[in-house]
Structure 1
């Protein structure tokens, strides 16, 4: 049976529809990418009390090129809007750890979907195309309403297969002339 491309979630970040999850979820150490130390699941000291980064317009100049380079691939707004129905850790602090955990689970899935979507542009044999589509379908569980849907073994197994599958497409990539 030939699979078609699944309905994909939004794969571009939209910070206006998120709850600043990237500014909470990940730790960073002071260095070339970040001007300060920050622990996992703690708000960055540059977050405004009302939401958003108070130095966003000057991130690189202020020593945060790691923030400039970051993209959640749409996972942040999906978590905030879909999985948590627009609720935020700001209004309900008990949600903080649940929402940041969800970002750490969903972001790699969104990144894998972006890579697989791009891979479909490579002229490849049908067997490889079907493998690509099978992985995409596995990463898009139907009627997903909770982060647990993305922690299911079939989703996580598909995610684990992506780094092995993508290099197998190298022989089909045509060099730009």
Structure 2
């Protein structure tokens, strides 16, 4: 049976993964260019945002609207047991890789849960449930399980499944 995680961002239990993992370009949503893998210059030492109360005024509306769907805290707490890249620099690369994959996992879960509301034929519903098991397994995620997920055909099966739902939307 699938174990559906909390899909709400909880920044207090995350290691500010969006503030280091994501790249952004100066424009309407971001006041500066920032490459992926480098911490945002607004990231405070305590992993909070030094301009949080003025993000929009400072030109960072993209930060206000960003939603990781709970992937950040899940990587930090479930996979890395509360460790952070700032205190343990050696886990930075693996943590960012895990965050990238977990974002895809959580996006997939959200779409598969949304598809539950569709009037699908039995064969489609069976496939949706099988995919949900792959995206939300009962056992907790680990680095190895995420790597195995990436190497599996789960994402290609998911990508092939979604367009087939078009007739039921």
TM-score in same-fold range (> 0.5): yes
CA distance in 1, matches of 2:2, 2:137: 10
- Between 29-38 and 103-112, report the one with greater CA deviation: 29-38
Aligned partners of 1:73 and 1:110 also within 8 Å = yes
Partner of 1:137: 133
Deviation of the 1:156 alpha carbon = 4.5
Q: TM-score normalized by structure 1?
A: 0.86
Partner of 1:17: 13
SS at the partner of 1:151? Answer: helix
Deviation of the 1:134 alpha carbon = 0.8
| Runs of at least 5 residues in structure 2 that lack an aligned partner in the other structure | none
Aligned partners of 2:78 and 2:140 also within 8 Å = no
Aligned partners of 1:138 and 1:154 also within 8 Å = no
Aligned partners of 2:2 and 2:138 also within 8 Å = no
CA distance in 2, matches of 1:142, 1:7: 5
Asked whether 1:92 is paired with 2:69, we answer no
Partner of 1:80: 76
Aligned partners of 2:21 and 2:37 also within 8 Å = yes
Q: Pairwise CA RMSD of aligned residues?
A: 1.8
Deviation of the 1:99 alpha carbon = 1.1
- Between 92-101 and 107-116, report the one with greater CA deviation: 92-101
Deviation of the 1:58 alpha carbon = 2.4
Out of 16, 26, 39, which is 2:22 matched to? 26
Out of 118, 135, 148, which is 1:152 matched to? 148
Asked whether 1:48 is paired with 2:44, we answer yes
1:15-62 per-residue CA deviation (whole Å, 9 max, x = no partner) reads 111010110011222122211111221110011111211222222221
Aligned partners of 2:2 and 2:137 also within 8 Å = no
SS at the partner of 1:152? Answer: helix
| Runs of at least 5 residues in structure 1 that lack an aligned partner in the other structure | none
For 1:55-74, what aligned pairs fall within 5 Å after superposition? 55-74=51-70
Partner of 1:105: 101
Runs of 4 or more consecutive aligned structure 1 residues displaced over 3 Å after TM superposition? 153-156
Q: TM-score normalized by structure 2?
A: 0.90
Deviation of the 1:153 alpha carbon = 5.1
CA distance in 2, matches of 1:67, 1:146: 28
